[in-house]
């Protein structure tokens, strides 16, 4: 019992050290952004995919940003593919309006699909993407004018399979939750992702405000239509086949974050499930990969375990309670202290508090730093939601995903028909 508790504490402590390493690197070391020297000078052909499902409120905003993008649009170097994914509102009309008005905008409509998911919509869009690089933007994002040229700049390095930009919430003043999520994003991107990029570890492709070389996508086949974290899936596919992902901190894009806890709970649960699928799929392969050096492997494993940590923390608390009640050693109350405090450092998207503070300092957002003490109670929320996500992922992996993998590619393809340009 005591050994198990000590092992859990050691794992939690290792995550805290990892976060502190990121904080130190991002705050005090020279930042790696060589590729941005080419931003604007290197303008390869690019396809931009925008999956939309019932997004009538935000579709025009995104498409407007994309048609006004500061990027050469002549000679077929730029195309926007708006994918109407089984929408039942005005999204399809909006998409058609833009396709008629601008020659470089294509509309793809999916209706009556048996699989309605973001990856399957992306697969549908990819069949029409013809350019050298493919970028993805979700409907509720607002890319600024320089976003695309900044994002494609790292592709000058032939080893780069994918890129990821920085996401910044626009609706942070709405509620306390949106303010807290603003913090999480700042720590996650400004500090965490940038430090991983600096250190040559594994910056993660985040599913939007980023993209891939089409040659890489062609070599990997389609997105897994059933995956809940196709972004993490693609990140690991890239690293395990010898490519790398480049994080571009200067490529900022604005988004709307959930302002209600219920929405956030659903989001975190979905991420936890998808991320844990990746843990089951890529855990051993990451350890055995010939393409990854030791530190990249270690970071890869720890990144895969991020959404396992809430469950581990819950197990630690349970063991601590048992130990406290039935075999109280003199230090059992200290264990509670350790679990309650250290777990905060590593759960979900919450980074070490110094990462959050450093992000606020780097962004010169001194007023927002006040809110840091509000973060610990949110940990309890993430522990429960994340643990539920892990258990559901484990059950789904055992009972559903394995069976689905036994399906033939033909039978799977049958389920994904009915896309029409």
Partner 1 sequence: MRQLKSTLLPRASWSFHVQRFHLILGSAITVGTVLAIAILVQAYWILQASLITRVLGFARVPHELFLPRPAFGVFLNAIAPEFLLEKAVISETLILLAAIAILLAIAVIAVVPRLSPPSRILAIFFLALVLVNLAYGILHPEQPWPLRVDWLTSGIVIIPLIALVFNVTVFPIPGSLSTKLVGLLACLAFSFVWSTLRLSLALSSLFYLGAFSFMFLEYLPGAFVDFVYMLLFYSLVMRRLAASHLEEARSIRRS
Note the residues at the interface with partner 1 (CB under 8 A).
Answer: 20, 23, 26-31, 33, 36-37, 146, 166, 190, 249-250, 252, 260-262, 265, 321, 324-326, 328, 330, 333-334, 336-337, 340-341, 344, 353-354, 357-358, 360-367, 369-373, 375-378, 380-381, 384
Nearer CB in complex with partner 1: 102/381: 381
Residue closer to partner 1 (CB basis): 51 or 206 = 206
Tokens 């904080």 -> residue: 23
Nearer to partner 1 among residue 367 and residue 406 (C-beta): 367
| CB nearer to partner 1: pick between 333 and 421 | 333
Residue closer to partner 1 by CB (options 63, 177) is: 177
> Among residues 126 and 347, whose Cβ is nearest to partner 1?
347
Q: Are 255 and 140 in contact (CB under 8 A)?
A: yes
Nearest CA to 235 out of 195, 277, 199, 181 is that of 277
Report the nearest approach of partner 1 to the CB of residue 263 (Å): 10
Q: CB-side exposure of 389: number of CA atoms within 13 Å?
A: 32
Residue 381 Cβ vs partner 1, minimum distance, rounded to whole Å:
5
Q: Which is nearer to partner 1, 240 or 340 (CB)?
A: 340
Query: What is the closest distance, in whole angstroms, from the C-beta atom of residue 320 to partner 1 in the complex?
Result: 10
For partner 1, give the closer residue by CB, 23 or 390. 23
72 C-beta neighbours (distance < 10 Å), count? 13
The least distance separating partner 1 from the CB of residue 45, rounded to whole angstroms, comes to: 24
Least separation, in Å, of the C-beta of 140 and partner 1?
22
Distance between CA 208 and CA 256 in Å, rounded? 13
Q: Token pair 């793809």 is at which residue? A: 108
Q: At its nearest, how many Å lie between partner 1 and the CB of residue 395?
A: 22
Give least dist CB 254 to partner 1, A.
13
Nearer to partner 1, 241 or 341 (CB): 341
Looking at the Cβ atoms of 239 and 307, the one nearer to partner 1 is 307
CB of 274 to partner 1, least distance (A): 21
* HEC profile of the chain: CHHHHHHHHHHHHHHHHHHHHHHHHHHHCCCCCHHHHHECCECCCEEEEEEECCCCCCHHHHHHHHHCCCCCCHHHCEEEEEEEECCCCCHHHHHHHHHHHCCCEEEEEECCCCCCCHHHHHHHHHCCCCCCEEEECCCCEECCCCHHHHHHHHHHCCCEEEEEEEEEECCCCCCHHHHHHHHHHHHHHHHHHHHHHHCCCCCCCCCCCEEEEHHHHHHHCCCCCCCCCHHHHHHHHHHHCCCEEEEEEEEEEEECCCCCHHHHHHHHHHHHHHHHHHHHHHHHHHHHCCCCCHHHHHHHHHHHCCCCHHHHHHHHHHHHHHHHHHCCCCCHHHHHHHHHHHHHHHCCCCCCHHHHHHHHHHCCCHHHHHHHHHHHHHHHHHHHHHHHHHHHHHHHHHHHHHHHHCCCHHHHHHHCCCEEC
CB of 304 to partner 1, least distance (A): 26
Quote the least distance from Cβ 387 to partner 1, whole Å: 12
């Amino acid at each position: 019992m005591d050994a198990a508790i000590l092992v859990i504490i050691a794992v939690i402590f290792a995550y805290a050290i990892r976060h502190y390493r990121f904080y130190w690197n991002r705050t005090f070391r020279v930042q790696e952004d060589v590729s941005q020297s080419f931003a604007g000078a290197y303008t390869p052909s690019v396809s931009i995919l925008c999956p939309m499902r019932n997004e009538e409120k935000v579709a025009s905003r995104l498409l407007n940003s994309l048609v006004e993008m500061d990027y050469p649009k002549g000679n077929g170097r730029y195309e926007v593919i708006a994918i109407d994914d089984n929408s039942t509102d005005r999204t399809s009309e909006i998409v058609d309006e833009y396709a008629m008005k601008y020659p470089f905008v294509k509309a793809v409509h999916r209706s009556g699909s048996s699989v309605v998911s973001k990856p399957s919509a992306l697969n549908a869009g990819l069949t029409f993407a013809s350019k050298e690089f493919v970028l993805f933007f979700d409907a509720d994002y607002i890319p600024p004018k320089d976003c695309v040229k900044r994002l494609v700049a790292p592709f000058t390095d032939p080893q780069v399979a994918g890129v990821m930009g920085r996401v910044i919430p626009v609706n942070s003043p709405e509620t306390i939750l949106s303010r807290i999520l603003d913090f999480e994003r700042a720590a996650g991107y400004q500090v965490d992702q940038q430090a991983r990029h600096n250190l040559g570890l594994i910056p993660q492709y985040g599913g939007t405000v980023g993209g891939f070389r089409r040659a890489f996508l062609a070599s990997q086949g389609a997105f897994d239509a059933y995956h809940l974290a196709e972004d993490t899936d693609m990140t690991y596919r890239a690293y395990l086949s010898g490519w790398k992902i480049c994080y571009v901190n200067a490529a900022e894009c604005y988004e709307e974050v959930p302002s209600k806890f219920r929405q956030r709970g659903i989001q975190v649960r979905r991420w936890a499930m998808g991320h844990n699928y990746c843990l089951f799929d890529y855990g051993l392969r990451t350890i055995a990969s010939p393409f990854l050096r030791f530190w990249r492997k270690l970071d890869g494993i720890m990144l895969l375990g991020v959404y396992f940590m809430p469950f581990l923390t819950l197990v630690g608390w349970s063991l601590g309670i048992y130990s406290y009640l039935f075999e109280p050693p003199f230090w059992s109350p200290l264990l509670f202290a350790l679990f309650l405090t250290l777990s905060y450092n590593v759960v979900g998207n919450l980074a070490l508090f110094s990462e959050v503070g450093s992000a606020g300092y780097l962004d010169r957002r001194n007023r927002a730093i006040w809110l840091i003490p509000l973060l610990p109670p949110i940990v309890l929320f993430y522990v429960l939601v994340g643990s539920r996500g892990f258990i559901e992922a484990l059950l789904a992996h055992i009972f559903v995903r394995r069976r689905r993998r036994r399906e033939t590619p033909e039978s799977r393809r049958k389920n994904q028909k009915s896309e029409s340009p």
